[in-house]
Copies of this chain bind each other. A is one copy, B any other.
Amino acid sequence: MQAINIGILGLGTVGSGVIKLIKDHQKKISGITGRQLVIKRAVVHNPDKKRNVDLSGITVTTDINDLINDPDIQIVVEVMGTVEIAKDYIERLLRAGKHIITANKDLIAIHGSQLAELADKNHCDLFYEASVAGGIPILRTIVSSFAADRIIEVKGIVNGTTNYILTQMSQNNVSFNEALKSAQKLGFAEADPTNDVAGIDAAYKMIILTQFAFGMNVTLTDIKTTGIQKIELADIKQAEELGYKIKLLGIAKLIDKRISVSVGPVLIPASQPLAAVQNENNAVLVTGAAVGETMFYGPGAGELPTANSVLSDIIAVTKDIVMKTTGSRFNEFSQEGKTASKENVFYPYYISLKVKDRPGQMLKITRIMSEINASFHLIIQTELDEENARVVMTTHQVSESQLDAILNGISKLKEISVIAAYKILPGQQ
């Protein structure tokens, strides 16, 4: 049987997983593709490091040129991380006619269009299924199953670390800091968790999802991103009493042909499938004009789930090589897109306030609301500490600019401060 030789950049968790899966499922893969997949070379930073995977038959080197100049190698898998070096390597590999598979979401979110063009020019495949929601085949599904539909909205729990932390806070009644510590102990959060807990990782994934679902390019600055660091347990519990779960949710939504993308804590009705996504799992809910709501759920990371997505990309490239159809874009859907303005993005909000416990406070708040024509759905007052009350209100639909005005108005009051202001997803039916 003819072989397809593969190079690999990086032998960390995902790289090792890819090698294991190819060895374990050689027979099934050959049955489907008619080719034998062979990992021929690996490029790593430190070739002397002990690795938890059988490297027999694989030449391990530190020089990218060994891959670029090996005419036998047709496919290169990039799982080394970092943005700029990976970009440089991939560009040189594409120019040498190698097909590329990467799990590098930062790279794709920042330089994806540019790399796709270069791949085009060199008739190469460039796939990156593993870059969003590791074990969930969401990108290829959008490409192949929503081509005839018009996607209206994509909502995703796309960061496992934050979902794990929020689940632990809710289930074990612990603070953000305690939950973060236990997540770090168990390996669900990194020593420096900023990228995850501040929502940056989720925002990068939403950039890629937006590109696939709407054919539109947005950048990090187009996305209003709020992290979970300031979420208080009391608000998680209050939301639950009202029938909601708080999740870090990415939302990309068409509003009058313009796109609105945000990442932040959102109240999701407990009856909705997204609310049931627990711990480190991910889920993406796609709303199509024709098909309605479909949700794709699974592990967001991990050695084998992510390696499995890389493998499905390798198989897709291999099929393309066999059928001589390489060089078409992973996502061919592209259209002009402007971002929606704050005046046109409407949600109900959950607003939690710290209010000095004395008469007349509620009047100040209602005055601010009525000045901008916003109205409450409900107000709940509970004790916060000896001097202060926690006032939680849920609003009817207000625009983002109205919300800004409310928060701005409250910030000027001496005895009232904002603890939280989160979107509320509308319930079903």
A residues at B contact (CB < 8 Å): 17, 21-22, 24-25, 28-29, 31-32, 129, 135-137, 140-141, 144-150, 271, 273, 275-278, 288-299, 302, 304-305, 307-309, 311-312, 314-316, 323, 325, 332-334
The one of B140, B144, B148, B309 that contacts A25, using a Cβ cutoff of 8 Å: B148
Pick from B28, B277, B294: contact of A150, CB below 8 A.
B28
Contact of A290 among B148, B292, B294, B305 (CB under 8 A): B305
- A309 vs B141: C-alpha distance in the bound complex, in angstroms? 12
Chain B residues contacting A271 (CB-CB under 8 Å) are 276, 278
Contact indicator A305/B292 (Cβ below 8 Å): yes
Chain B neighbourhood of A129, CB < 8 A:
145
Among A145, A150, A278, A293, find the residue whose CB has the most chain B CB atoms closer than 10 A: A145
Q: In whole Å, how far is A55's beta carbon from the nearest beta carbon of chain B?
A: 19
8 A-B pairs besides A135-B291, A137-B294, A144-B316 with CB distance below 8 A are: A29-B147, A137-B141, A140-B144, A144-B315, A145-B308, A149-B308, A292-B304, A295-B298
Is the pair A292, B297 in contact by a Cβ cutoff of 8 Å?
A: no
Q: When the two chains form their complex, are residues B273 and A297 in contact, meaning their CB atoms are under 8 A apart?
A: yes
**Complex alpha-carbon distance, A294 and B308, angstroms:** 12
Q: How far is the CB of A305 from chain B (nearest CB, A)?
A: 5
Interface centre among A140, A146, A292, A298 (most CB of B within 10 A): A298
Cβ of A302: which chain B residues have Cβ within 8 Å of it? 292
Residues of B within 8 A of A25 (CB): 148-150
Cβ-neighbour of A273 out of B149, B276, B315 (below 8 A)? B276
A275 neighbours in B (Cβ, 8 Å): 276
Q: How far is the CB of A235 from chain B (nearest CB, A)?
A: 22
- Copies assembled: 2
- A28-B150, A323-B325 known; A136 vs B311 contact (CB < 8 Å): no
Verify A144–B144 contact, CB threshold 8 A.
yes
Chain A to chain B contacts (Cβ below 8 Å), 26 pairs: A21-B148, A24-B150, A25-B149, A28-B150, A31-B332, A32-B332, A137-B144, A137-B145, A140-B141, A141-B145, A147-B311, A147-B315, A148-B314, A271-B278, A276-B276, A288-B308, A290-B308, A291-B298, A291-B304, A292-B298, A292-B299, A292-B302, A292-B305, A295-B296, A295-B298, A323-B323
Q: Judge whether B276 and A148 touch: CB under 8 Å.
A: no
The 7 closest A-B CB pairs, nearest first, are A294-B298, A148-B311, A137-B145, A290-B304, A295-B297, A291-B308, A276-B276
CB closest residue in chain B, given A311: B148
Q: Which residue of B lies closest to A134 (CB)?
A: B291
Contact of A28 among B28, B141, B293, B333 (CB under 8 A): B333
Contacts of A29 in B (CB 8 A): 147-148
Interfacial chain B residues near A291, Cβ < 8 Å? 135, 298-299, 304-305, 308-309
A148 to B149, CA, bound (A): 28
Check A294 against B288 for contact (C-beta < 8 Å): no
State whether B290 touches A298 (Cβ < 8 A): no
Q: A316: which B residues are within 8 A, CB to CB?
A: 144
Question: Which residues of the partner chain B approach A136 to less than 8 Å between Cβ atoms?
Answer: 294
Name the distance in Å between A33's Cβ and chain B's nearest Cβ. Answer: 8
Residues in chain B near residue A309, CB distance under 8 A: 145, 291
* Interchain CB contact under 8 A, A293 and B304: no
Q: Give the chain B neighbours of A141 by CB distance below 8 A.
A: 137, 140-141, 145
Contact B296 A296, beta carbon cutoff 8 Å: yes
Q: Which residues of B contact A298 (CB under 8 A)?
A: 291-295
Chain B residues in 8 Å Cβ range of A297: 273, 294-297
